Structure 1
Amino acid sequence: MRQRKTDYGTIILHWTFVAAFAVALVTGLRIATETPDRTWINWFDAVLPRDSVWIAHMQAAVVLVAVAIGYLVYMLRSGLGRRVQLDKVRLRGLFGRGQARLSAVIALMYWIFFVTMFGLLVSGGALYFGFYSGYDVAMLHWVGTWVILAFVVLHVLTQYKSGGISQLLRIFRPAPLPAPPPRLDAVELLGLLAERSARLPESEGASAPPEVSSHPLQPRAETRRDRTDEPDPAPRSHGGPSRSRNPTLQANPFLVAAAAAITGASLLVATDRLAVDSVQIRRINPADAPVLDGDTSDRAWRGVRPFSLLTGEGGNFDGKGETRIAIRAVHDGTYAYFLFTWEDSTRSLKHLPLVKEADGWHLLHSGLQAGDEHRYNEDKFSVLLTTSDVTLAGGRTFHPGPQPVAGAPATMSGRGLHYTASGYADVWQWKATSGAIGWMDDTHFGPPLDPTPMQAANVVPYKGGFAPDPGTASYRDNFTVEADTSGGPRRSRLIAPLRLPKDVAATTGAMGDIDLDPNHGESEGARWFMTEQDSVPYSTSIDARIPTGTVIPGVILGGEFSGDRADVRSAARWASGHWALEVKRRLDTTSQFDVPIKTGIFMRVAAFDHSQIRHTRHVRPIRIEVE
């Protein structure tokens, strides 16, 4: 039996697509492990990549775009469009039998594949460039991946059905591209018909119709013995000399397709590099420096054009997981000032509150034990500064997987860890309750740290290389949690609160209208913390006087920030569904854990809606330019 073969252009494009999609698939699955309801993907942890996941994913995406362009050009130039042509004849074949139906099904599957791949590339581009970052686009990207996988399985099965193992093996057997059929020339057709009419035997009479082949330009089936082995004469124009058909020199279709693919991919990469997102830090007179009070009406902000970007794939935010963040920045030669504003429909201050019940105090939470509290937490905002040209999210500061650090404890949430291979990335964290008295916690990502005894025992989550800068903070939790947390997934028994209110009525009044629904925000002026001045250390005698049903804050504020941890001052205000956060820091703190604010460094921002770690994100970095 003659071996079936496939043109080499199709084979090259086919296997290039397979390789690129395989890389995009495994890296995409690793990225998807960061979605809380998809931690089941960690079952395949052993075969999923661990390093440079985002970088490899985007590189594979560029190759897929190139293959898509190349395939389209190749099909047009080679005349192979009939392979996937979905016309009326093929559609009618869906209601037929045998090979007609199979051919129609294969063609229909190809078009489902084309549409799905287009959706994957468009949704991926929207997420990458930040045009749209909501759950629906991410879900489109997720569903499209599984449609492509289903297509791969069905593609193999239908190809086997159409021609057996020989049909499957043809993708490994290259052959030259068959010449396309000649174009239909009307003048040549008329000349051919006239020539045939002139050759008819006189005995057949003038009324006999001429014999015409199925395609006028295909070879004729001669029956006369003296013509059996002779080639067909060249068609002639009527009454004139012979002329050649299609004299135009045709370029190799695969080379044209490859050139188009490389050009398209190069333009995509160049556009990405040239269209860098940047924030201008305009210079102002020190007398015009903004006052840190969360008020956006300062003179310094009036003439500054904000940089706006859409961040997504976070937690909450009314179920969309996205928010738009605007950034303004100025400096006076010594200090840099930032104004961050973002959308958040609720002012969430309920950070792990405590409720007294008949059997004692309980902590309200939903995922604290795994380090993934996403209900009873305060609103937060984070800024990352780095000197590295980190062109993709998580390229050097985040490592996905349930155990990214070999020999260290596995993550209790099943998600990845922040750390660097060397050096430090500067991280600022503002917290709506814990940072209420004027500081943004100055922290950093560095090389992985040794686990503490509590982390090694899986009592508290291991944090990789995420740690505060040296110094002290003015806040702490108002509780300690037992190692045996058998109190249920929502509430766990505490040993005891660390401090109790001096005046229960006054503390309750300061908390405003107490609504324990985590999706409901707090009123203006409400505070969900206690200070050391309005609280006392826990004692059973004081506890006995507090009635059942009392709610007290889970945060204690006392003292001030100190050391490197106190480098960033801030103030925030919430109004009309928006947070406004003003921040101040020296351009250069001289700390090894801080990044000097100067032209050429890169920034990332993230917003948290009453969530511990489920923050929004953007893929492309923001370049800082200091005037």
Structure 2
Amino acid sequence: MRYVVPVALSTLALALAACATQEQTAAPNVLVAAKVTTPPTLDGNPNDAAWASAKPISVALSDGANFAGGKGETTATLKAVYSGDTVYFLVQYADPTNSIRRGPYQKQADGSWKKLRDPADKGGDDNVYYEDKWAMIWNINNSIAGFDKQGCGVFCHAGEPGKPFGNKYTAKEGELGDMWHMKGQRTAPLGHVDDQYLDHTRYDPQKSPAAGRKSDPGGPEYKGFGLVNGKPEFMNKDGKPANAGGTYYIIDGNQVPFDDSKFKPGDEVASFLIFPLKGDRADIKVATRWANGVLTSEVSRKLTTGSKFDVQFSDLNASYGFGFAAFDNAQVRHAVHYEPLYLRFAK
């Protein structure tokens, strides 16, 4: 009997060592959220001590528009930590340009105003005058069949009529994806990632032009405005051109009637208002910063939200499947990672 305790302790030690080794050597497609006492501050600066506790994963992205050399490729680095009732993500990837000129109006030499558009855009596919974005899609309750093998590709449908870059929808009713959509000029300036979701709705040009992509209750995030008597309907109350110290968006409440006398040929101004998200749609907080060819986002969300449109990180022993994509000045042509990724929580 005197050998039982030492053997038992030895076995326990080996088991614990095996668990530790397993956690430290997670598969390359597994993002492990480290448990931290002090969470990171959301300011777009990745130097928080909390991030040093997290092991990064590298996510190769391809087949998008723009990025370095116009090849549509980049590599994202993702980290995750959790503290209390909140999970945090650090998203970073190389992006050679800070894309902020989303569809501005530009004053012409003859004094008229023109909205700048991608000349190759055949409808919802601007890759010249847009914004930087990234997106995560989470498999809610493992409801999306085939996600564990195909990742995001299981609900991306290219080559369908009506959309030059395809549609997004799940295969059948009951399959739901939680889409986190960071929009650099429409949601990030007010500190939010757009909380959206994906269902089985098929594309219809009148009834469902966005197919299965929908937004959680609590919007809108922006609203465009047109030309009135040949001039933009609004301007920012600071009166600054967007390309001379102003912004390419106007926060709702800061719009005033347009004063054409303040602008000279070549000046650009915003073409849309942005609004703070509310309720269900405002669950995800973000601080985004572009510097020296790298886009950095610090993100937070409660582990559980109670919304049927959200993934619930309620079981810290479970794995949560997700996909990731990045958009460089592109409306829809995202650089994507085709294989599934998984989030797990360290103890």
TM-score normalized with structure 2 length: 0.80
Q: Tell me which of 266, 269, 274 is aligned to 1:557.
A: 274
Offset of residue 362 of structure 1: 1.2
Which residue of the partner structure matches residue 365 of structure 1?
A: 117
Offset of residue 503 of structure 1: 4.4
Counterparts of 1:347 and 1:276, CA distance in 2: 29
Q: Is the 8 A contact 1:390 1:396 kept in 2?
A: no
Which residue of the partner structure matches residue 456 of structure 1?
A: 206
Between structure 1 and structure 2, the one with the greater Rg is 1
Q: Is the 8 A contact 2:112 2:230 kept in 1?
A: no
Residues 71-122 of structure 1 show CA distances to partners (whole Å, capped at 9, x for unaligned) of: xxxxxxxxxxxxxxxxxxxxxxxxxxxxxxxxxxxxxxxxxxxxxxxxxxxx
Counterparts of 1:531 and 1:369, CA distance in 2: 29
Counterparts of 1:494 and 1:350, CA distance in 2: 23
Which residue of the partner structure matches residue 429 of structure 1?
A: 181
Which residue of the partner structure matches residue 51 of structure 1?
A: none
Residues 208-252 of structure 1 show CA distances to partners (whole Å, capped at 9, x for unaligned) of: xxxxxxxxxxxxxxxxxxxxxxxxxxxxxxxxxxxxxxxxxxxxx
Q: Tell me which of 417, 423, 427 is aligned to 2:167.
A: 417
Structure 2 residue 148 is matched with structure 1 residue 381: no
Q: Tell me which of 19, 38, 42 is aligned to 1:292.
A: 42
CA, structure 1 residues 494+582, in 2 after alignment: closer, same or farther (shift >3 Å)? Answer: farther
CA, structure 1 residues 505+601, in 2 after alignment: closer, same or farther (shift >3 Å)? Answer: closer
CA, structure 1 residues 507+377, in 2 after alignment: closer, same or farther (shift >3 Å)? Answer: closer
Which residue of the partner structure matches residue 257 of structure 1?
A: none
Counterparts of 1:333 and 1:466, CA distance in 2: 31
Offset of residue 275 of structure 1: 5.7
CA, structure 1 residues 501+282, in 2 after alignment: closer, same or farther (shift >3 Å)? Answer: closer
Name the amino acid aligned to 1:345: P
Counterparts of 2:73 and 2:291, CA distance in 1: 18
Counterparts of 2:308 and 2:229, CA distance in 1: 38
Name the amino acid aligned to 1:576: N
Q: Tell me which of 555, 566, 570 is aligned to 2:282.
A: 566
Residues 137-183 of structure 1 show CA distances to partners (whole Å, capped at 9, x for unaligned) of: xxxxxxxxxxxxxxxxxxxxxxxxxxxxxxxxxxxxxxxxxxxxxxx
Offset of residue 502 of structure 1: 3.5
Q: Tell me which of 100, 103, 109 is aligned to 1:349.
A: 100
Counterparts of 2:122 and 2:98, CA distance in 1: 24
CA, structure 1 residues 619+360, in 2 after alignment: closer, same or farther (shift >3 Å)? Answer: same
Name the amino acid aligned to 1:355: Q
TM-score normalized with structure 1 length: 0.46
Q: Tell me which of 251, 255, 268 is aligned to 1:535.
A: 255
1:608-627 → structure 2 map (5 Å cutoff): 608-627=327-346
Q: Is the 8 A contact 2:235 2:270 kept in 1?
A: no
Q: Is the 8 A contact 1:501 1:530 kept in 2?
A: yes
Name the amino acid aligned to 2:192: W
Structure 2 residue 158 is matched with structure 1 residue 400: yes
Aligned residues: 307
Structure 2 residue 28 is matched with structure 1 residue 312: no
Counterparts of 1:503 and 1:474, CA distance in 2: 22
1:191-206 → structure 2 map (5 Å cutoff): none
Name the amino acid aligned to 1:381: W
Counterparts of 2:99 and 2:153, CA distance in 1: 31
SS at match of 1:504: coil
- Give me the CA root mean square deviation: 2.6
Offset of residue 496 of structure 1: 5.2
Which residue of the partner structure matches residue 578 of structure 1?
A: 294
SS at match of 1:443: strand
Name the amino acid aligned to 2:209: Y
User: More helix by proportion, 1 or 2?
Assistant: 1
Structure 2 residue 305 is matched with structure 1 residue 589: yes
CA, structure 1 residues 397+496, in 2 after alignment: closer, same or farther (shift >3 Å)? Answer: farther
User: More strand by proportion, 1 or 2?
Assistant: 2
In structure 1, list runs of 5 or more residues that go unmatched.
Answer: 1-273, 404-409, 481-492, 512-526
Taking only the aligned residue pairs, the percentage that are identical comes to 29
Counterparts of 1:400 and 1:336, CA distance in 2: 33
Counterparts of 1:580 and 1:587, CA distance in 2: 22
Structure 2 residue 76 is matched with structure 1 residue 325: yes
Offset of residue 382 of structure 1: 0.8
Which residue of the partner structure matches residue 224 of structure 2?
A: 477
